[in-house]
Amino acid sequence: MNKDILSLLDLERKDFELFFKRALELKKNQRKSIEKRPLAGKTLGLIFDKPSTRTRLSFEVAMIQLGGASIFISSKDTQMVRNEPVRDTARVLSRYLDGLAIRTYSQDLLKEFAEFSTIPVINALTDLYHPCQVLSDLMTVIEYKGGYENLKTTWVGDGNNVSHSWINAAAVLGLNLVLACPEGYYPDADILETALERGHGSIIVTSDPVEAVKHADVIYTDVWASMGQESEHSVRKRIFEPFQVDKELLKNASKDVIIMHCLPVHRGEEMSEEVLECPNSVVWDQSENKLHMHKAILEVLIK
Ligand code: CP
Ligand code: NVA
């Protein structure tokens, strides 16, 4: 296993499997009130340059439940705001902390942190990827569908950071993934090419959401304008309208399709209220599983 999780391409199939197994066990243990403190005395730093509810809180609670501690570091309150270089900050923080979860804009900045840190660095979302999100999402798929093999997963909406992590996962695990995105909002061409070169599973990009969701077992959507794209919101709203996951679109999918969204959701935009609240929607379990998956990740990476 690599020291860091910067993207899902850092993981091999066996790493994915280890995380799924351990996260499912930890969830079961929590239900039975079995508590262990493997990270007693360890501290996780959380550097967040963008807002977060689920990711921040679930990492913090994960550390508490594992017997460790976490420190939230708002980058504007550190010397980074006065241009202390990342490479210096990374080396200093490595002397205090046992792991770092970072949510920021640039994947390159995250990479630099990882390069100069001697501790594990975990991507808690960048403009390019959201790997831990998709790990916990796949855990949810396993819970509902018994596995991820032989399923058709359809991404509907923006070819964004979360979709890129799904593409990476599809490449490593050999998933059958279809992405329906408006033209001009397709996933990154290099990320797609790298995934296709691996030759595992099937990854198709189309601009036809109706065709894309036909017989889908999993439908996933996300916001139309991600953090940092707020100024594009009204333009995107118009372009993405035919990509709303609503009852009409769902008619084309399998009857027992599960509906997923990483949250926060914009009701009436990427998903209708009716679909969000329908029995096929698993969004709240998805949220919960972030906690169990983050516990598994921390337990494995922080020794
Ligand atoms: N899904 C997710 O990453 O949510 P937050 O932005 O609230 O962390
Ligand atoms: N694509 C979204 C995900 C939020 C969890 C964003 O980057 O804002």
Domains of the chain: 8-129+289-301 (3.40.50.1370), 131-286 (3.40.50.1370)
What is the distance between the alpha carbons of residues 50 and 238, in angstroms, rounded to a whole number?
Answer: 25
Q: Which residues contact 192 (CB under 8 A, 6 or more apart)?
A: 167, 186, 203, 205
What is the distance between the alpha carbons of residues 179 and 191, in angstroms, rounded to a whole number?
Answer: 13
* Residue-wise pLDDT tens digits, 264-279: 999 999 999 999 999 9
CB of residue 161 inside a 6 A radius of ligand 1:
no
What is the distance between the alpha carbons of residues 148 and 138, in angstroms, rounded to a whole number?
Answer: 7
Please tell me the number of the ligand nearest to residue 262's CA: 1
Do 214 and 252 form a contact (C-beta atoms < 8 A)? yes
Distance 220 CA to ligand 1 centre (A): 15
Region of 127 on the Ramachandran plot (φ > 0 left; ψ -120 to 50 alpha; else beta): alpha
> Which atom number of ligand 2 is nearest to the Cα of residue 160?
1
Helix (H, G, I), strand (E, B) or coil at 41: coil
> Which atom number of ligand 1 is nearest to the Cα of residue 57?
8
Q: Please report the pLDDT score of residue 96 as a whole number.
A: 98
CB of residue 176 inside a 6 A radius of ligand 1:
no
42-78 burial, b if ≥16 CB within 10 A, otherwise e?
A: bbbbbbbbeebebbbebbbebbebbebbbeebeeeee
* Residue-wise pLDDT tens digits, 231-242: 999 999 999 999
What is the distance between the alpha carbons of residues 212 and 206, in angstroms, rounded to a whole number?
Answer: 7
Indicate which residue's Cα is closest to atom 7 of ligand 2. 226
Structural element, H or E, at residue 239? helix 233-240
Residues with CB under 6 Å of ligand 2 are 125, 160-162, 222-223, 226-227, 262
Distance 62 CA to ligand 1 centre (A): 15
Burial (CB < 10 A; 0-12, 13-18, 19+), residue 105, is middle
Q: Which residues contact 188 (CB under 8 A, 6 or more apart)?
A: 128, 159, 164
Q: Please report the pLDDT score of residue 269 as a whole number.
A: 97
In this prediction, the residues of the chain whose per-residue pLDDT falls under 50 are: none
Q: Please report the pLDDT score of residue 76 as a whole number.
A: 83
